[in-house]
Amino acid sequence: MDVVERLFDILPYNAGHYAPKPDMLAAKESGKWITYSINEYRQMADAVSYALLKAGIGIGDKVGTIMPGRPEWNIIDMGILQTGAVHVPIYPTITESDYRYILEHCEVKFLFIPGVEIYRKIEHIVPELKSLKGICTIKQIDNLILFSELIEQGKKVASSDNRLENIKNTIHTNDLATIIYTSGTTGNPKGVMLTHANIISNILGTKHIVPFKEGKALSYLPLCHIYERMLNYLFQYLGISVYYAENIAMIADNIREVKPDIVTTVPRLLEKIYDKIIQKGRKLTGIKKFIFFSAVRTGNHFKEDGRNSWAYKLKLKLLDKLVFSKWREALGGNLKVIASGGAALQLRLARIFWAAGIPIIEGYGLTETSPVVAGNEFEFGGTRFGTVGRPLKHTQVMIAEDGEILVKGPGLMQGYYKEPELTKEVIDEQGWFHTGDIGIIIPEGHLKITGRKKEIFKTSLGKYISPELLENKFKESPFIDTLIVLGENQKFAAALVVPDFVFLCNWCKIKEIPYSTNMEMVNLPQVKKRYEQEIKKYNHHFGATEQIKRFQLVGEEFTIESGELTPSLKLRRDFISKKYAAPIEKLFE
């Protein structure tokens, strides 16, 4: 097959264009990497399709999955799509009320889960789901269908039933493929309807950005997010094996084992990787420490397209041998590119990773645009630090009078499921999608994001503040893990600051400051004074009306589980404002 018109066409395309490999998909089970060839992948996907057909699932029916990234996710995904059913992937980390809303709203008829942990979250909701015909689990749970048995059942049906090819032939590129419920920061989740053509336009629009074929990718972001999902399709289209990390804590170990050519990530993980590298550098002594931080300072001045002087390049070449080669080795030794999305990347991280021979390609998009709207590239002039790149071919980007980014193109969603009025709110009569993001297009044609329309606030003095702009800069401090900038209708901007507790603990040890808990540590006068110095230092990058005048240290990390972060690791500002209402009120007294 030479043309991919439906997402499941990727499987025969892969089989026909690349040499067979044993590890098209891989994941670690009981300490060993379990691999699946493209033929095994296709056979199992067909088996899932036949099992679903036998269960009464047909064209347009909704089939849900609640599971982390793993080979079975892809097998199930393709199995669903081949029947003409609609895949509804659901985050494993959402609240009970969101599970109930999504499962009822889209009338899920069949559900796949990994095991008992997820089942415990939904088991008392299940009797309320009138549309649900069955639940399949990867790991055994009494009274539920076991995935391995479903595969065997599907294979038996396949041996005496040839309906699948006929069904696939009726599925059109513009048919609905998936409904993705955006986590959102307020209200009920919205179901974004994407067709096969929507997502395929993104695959074809980004394929030239990846500078190789048939290598290895390491995946750790949730596949229920369109960013990671589209990239997984892209990898399969390019013949790249996909290895799934065991969990976030094991990423560093998995990278060293797999030695991937590409890793997809969000800036938050890159910040943590960088901080760990710097912490190791701080433990060095003498000439080694001097050379290490000389490399860091040099890397901070790296320019795109070889625009540094010959003297800089000579110095960088020497420091590469002494320092940056070890960075690459720690990241598997084969990394050709890191794809970053989901939030703004700190400028210093882009510069220093490129200087270290680990290029980061930053892009921009939304669930509603399948997702990529723009992306930096490897060609000369294709990357500009501080931007998210040029719009994809066939994608139109316009900046509205108020600075909002508007988008048109083949990746634009059909709309929000069962929500025509909400759809009209974001797609105007001319077909422009209103992203809610604020940005500019620089002379070279690259898009630069400057803030979020709804998050930009005005102080009582009438001055506008873009919190994301400040937050991204302040997070450059090794003392700060994250922070949230506040101050709408107040006289000044203030912030809740979450320390980088690992770095702060080490600092306290060096300064011989005793403490017992994180909460005790952030209340110590010496610690507060040190953070005052950090806030003052980074305030110098902003005008007087934008600067953070007061702050409060928080004694616990912001996490998905505790509610401060969305599953895509963005701040849930309304939730944080309610949870920390008392300390926020004190900031503005």
CATH number at residue 138: 3.40.50.12780
Query: What contacts 96, CB < 8 A, 6 or more positions away?
Result: 121, 122, 125
Rounded CA gap, 225 and 221, in Å? Answer: 8
Listed residue (205, 553, 237) closest to 410, CA to CA: 205
Q: How far is CA 544 from the centre of its chain?
A: 34
Whether residue 145 lies inside any domain: the answer is yes
Rounded CA gap, 495 and 550, in Å? Answer: 7
Distances, alpha carbon 260 to alpha carbons 240, 244, 335, in Å: 10, 11, 6
Rounded CA gap, 54 and 38, in Å? Answer: 24
On the question of a cis peptide bond just before residue 371, with omega within 30 degrees of 0, the verdict is yes
Rounded CA gap, 224 and 182, in Å? Answer: 10
Rounded to the nearest 10 degrees, the angle between the axes of helix 226-237 and helix 10-17 is 30
Which domain-ending residue is among 263, 293, 308? 263
DSSP 3-state of 453: coil
Whether residue 31 lies inside any domain: the answer is yes
Whether residue 330 lies inside any domain: the answer is no
* DSSP-derived pairing of the beta strands 433-441 and 108-113: unpaired
Whether residue 543 lies inside any domain: the answer is yes
Which domain-ending residue is among 220, 247, 263? 263
Range of the domain at 529: 457-587
Q: Report which secondary-structure segment, H or E, holds 164.
A: helix 163-170
10-residue mean pLDDT series, the chain (589 residues): 94 96 96 97 98 96 97 98 98 89 97 96 94 97 96 92 94 98 75 98 97 96 95 98 94 95 92 90 95 98 97 98 97 96 90 98 96 97 96 97 96 97 96 95 95 84 86 92 93 95 92 92 95 95 91 94 83 91 93
Which domain-ending residue is among 226, 248, 263? 263
Whether residue 220 lies inside any domain: the answer is yes
Distances, alpha carbon 25 to alpha carbons 12, 216, 246, 301, in Å: 15, 10, 14, 39
Residue 186 confidence (pLDDT): 54
Rounded CA gap, 35 and 71, in Å? Answer: 9
Query: What contacts 276, CB < 8 A, 6 or more positions away?
Result: none
pTM, entire model: 0.88
Whether residue 318 lies inside any domain: the answer is no
Whether residue 143 lies inside any domain: the answer is yes
Tokens for 208, please give them: 């030239």
Distances, alpha carbon 573 to alpha carbons 546, 569, 580, in Å: 19, 12, 10
Rounded to the nearest 10 degrees, the angle between the axes of helix 163-170 and helix 38-54 is 90
Distances, alpha carbon 123 to alpha carbons 99, 101, 188, 551, in Å: 11, 14, 21, 43
The residue written with tokens 């996909």 in the block is 242
Residue 93 confidence (pLDDT): 84
Whether residue 124 lies inside any domain: the answer is yes
The residue written with tokens 């799934």 in the block is 244
Residue 455 confidence (pLDDT): 84
Bridge partner list, 548: 493
The residue written with tokens 């610690």 in the block is 527
Listed residue (306, 347, 300) closest to 473, CA to CA: 347
Say which CATH number the domain at 575 has: 3.30.300.30
Residue 547 confidence (pLDDT): 93
Positive or negative, the Cα torsion across 231, 237, 238, 241?
A: positive
b/e sequence 62-99, b meaning 16+ C-beta within 10 Å: bbbbbbbbbbbbbbbbbbbbbbbbbbbbbbbbbeeebb
Whether residue 241 contacts residue 215, with contact meaning beta carbons closer than 8 Å, is answered with yes
Domain count for the chain, please give it.
Answer: 2
Sequence length of the chain is 589
Listed residue (46, 50, 56, 40) closest to 157, CA to CA: 50
